[in-house]
């Protein structure tokens, strides 16, 4: 499953592009803000591997600035046994990505519509939790397998979109040749 998440807010833009499989996947993330660009990439293949520029490792992966500077451009490996594996592997498989489609809260099924030329079911969800309000509209294929096509969401007034691409194509999750073992002491305060 290919999907792209885009968000524009506060003078910047964020884009994450995923290619998920049953047990593996890839992701690239770009955050642009005031002329600075943070970039990271991830691969899930038994372990999670990530790399990026210093700003990406700091801003997107929550490494301390000193570690981000030192490890910029190096692949970092997070083993399945790490307490941080789930955090880094989230959204890199179809199962973990689809889990996020149901928010809880109120759910309303709207009339069937047409989305990019094909019939689509429309589901609206809304939830408020811990002071954060999320509204989501999901477009789902109405013919064939009922798979998501697009999600429009608003989190506390900031809008974003998730666009799902072609289904049924396995990801090219290639393990990096060299990697540095992840250390929990590298994380900054969140």
Q: Output the pLDDT for position 149.
A: 92
Residue 84 DSSP code: T
pTM > 0.75: yes or no = yes
Query: What fold, for 97-164?
Result: Nuclear Transport Factor 2; Chain: A, (3.10.450)
pLDDT band with cut points at 50, 70 and 90 for residue 81:
very high
Write down the pLDDT at residue 166.
76
- Quick one: which of 62, 10, 21, 22 has its CA closest to 38? 62
Rounded to an integer, what distance in angstroms lies between the CA atom of residue 28 and that of residue 46? 18
Q: Where are the domains of the chain?
A: 2-93+169-186, 97-164
- Which pLDDT score is estimated for 190? 56
Place of tokens 């789930």: 86
Contact 56, 180 (CB under 8 A): no
Condensed to tens digits (0 to 9), the pLDDT of residues 4-27 reads 888 887 678 889 999 998 888 999
């Amino acid at each position: 499953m290919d999907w792209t998440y885009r968000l524009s807010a506060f003078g910047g833009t964020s884009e994450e592009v995923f290619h998920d499989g049953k047990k593996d996947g890839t992701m690239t993330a770009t955050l642009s803000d005031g002329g600075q660009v943070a970039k990271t990439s991830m691969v899930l293949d038994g372990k999670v591997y990530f790399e990026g520029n210093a700003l990406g490792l700091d801003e997107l992966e929550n490494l301390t600035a000193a570690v981000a500077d030192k490890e910029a451009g190096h692949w970092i490996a997070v083993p399945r046994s790490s307490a941080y594996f789930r955090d880094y592997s989230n959204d890199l498989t179809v199962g973990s990505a689809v889990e996020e489609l149901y928010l809880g809260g109120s759910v309303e099924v709207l009339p069937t519509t047409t989305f990019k030329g094909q019939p689509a079911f429309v589901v609206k969800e809304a939830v408020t939790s811990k002071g954060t309000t999320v509204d989501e509209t999901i477009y789902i294929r109405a013919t064939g397998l009922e798979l998501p096509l697009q999600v429009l969401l608003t989190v506390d007034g900031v809008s974003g979109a998730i666009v799902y691409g072609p289904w049924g194509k396995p990801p090219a999750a290639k393990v990096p040749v060299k990697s540095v073992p992840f250390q929990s002491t590298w994380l900054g305060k969140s």
